Structure 1
């Protein structure tokens, strides 16, 4: 099977150039999951950026406490999403090993089921983190510096893409699970997060576009 992050150290520590080279290579990791986590991290990082340009400004003194609180949570989310780049890659290793077990081995089905469930974990966590990121971007869009409104829109667009991308990595794994109750529970949560937060992120990006173009 393809190489995994164990052979290259932490994917999250690579430069942008090197990460995209690894992503483009004929390897299974990093793949769509790692890219989704990075997109989400970039999205919430823009929320922090707007907060950093807002905090300390007299014009925004009334919302200073709220902005600082958002910045603290945004940094936690950014760190979590960056960590999920490697978590997603690590989860591929046991899945890769399970698929390589001979089909006539009685242990194959059990090991494959366990590894597939584990492979669902990181992308689900990405979706949850991105959903909260959208909420913070909405609030920062209302309270943060007007000069950085376009960055709020960019952050929302990135989080929308991250949510959709992470969901695909959930669904491709739940499809293979024998435990349909477990699979359907994850699918329902993923569908709800998509229906709520991908739409909210898209709406925020569209609102920003209209505002910066003077249409509202």
Structure 2
């Protein structure tokens, strides 16, 4: 059964088990999908309201982008499981096997690529949630803040799933390039997500 076809309960139970998948990468993608889904919800609750008629075209555009991101993040839950399977097998190859190094390197490349894409999607999601928080219905303002926090957590968690693989790569130049991409995203987007949270909290009367 594909990951996104499982019930929430089964997914969480398998996540808690010793099964190889799902793991941190898939969980990150799922949390990111939940985060941007909250943005979509803000948009849906804003559309059709006279008070927000001026921003309706913007909200429609946001919803279209958010729906595409949500679909991609959901697909990355499965992609992460698929990418990890060859790596799990590679770890079982005897260390004295001449083929092990090449198999490991290829598997590490694939295993790092998926969480890196999860990170990129979460960055895009945070940018959309900034707009949802600024333009969406005040009745759903807290959901925009929640979505931003979820996407920031997913971004940071996916980053760990990149670096756990790059640290083992024999091609250190490639590893450094991937690590630099991770750091660039982490420098900017968690702070942007937290700024959304702080603005939402202030508007809701928090301190």
TM-score when normalising by structure 1: 0.94
9, 26, 38: which one aligns with 1:34: 26
- Structure 1, residues 57-113: CA drift from partner, whole Å, max 9, x if none? 111111111100000010000010011111001111111111111111111000100
TM-score when normalising by structure 2: 0.98
2-structure distance, mates of 1:186, 1:35: 21
Equivalent in the alignment of 2:175: 183
Equivalent in the alignment of 1:121: 113
Equivalent in the alignment of 2:192: 200
Pairwise CA distance, 1:214: 5.5
1-structure distance, mates of 2:73, 2:130: 19
Equivalent in the alignment of 1:82: 74
133, 137, 160: which one aligns with 1:141: 133
Equivalent in the alignment of 1:60: 52
104, 107, 113: which one aligns with 1:112: 104
1-structure distance, mates of 2:157, 2:20: 16
Unaligned runs of 5+ in 2: none
- RMSD over aligned CA atoms reads 0.9
**1:155 aligned to 2:147?**
yes
Equivalent in the alignment of 2:11: 19
2-structure distance, mates of 1:214, 1:129: 29
42, 45, 63: which one aligns with 1:50: 42
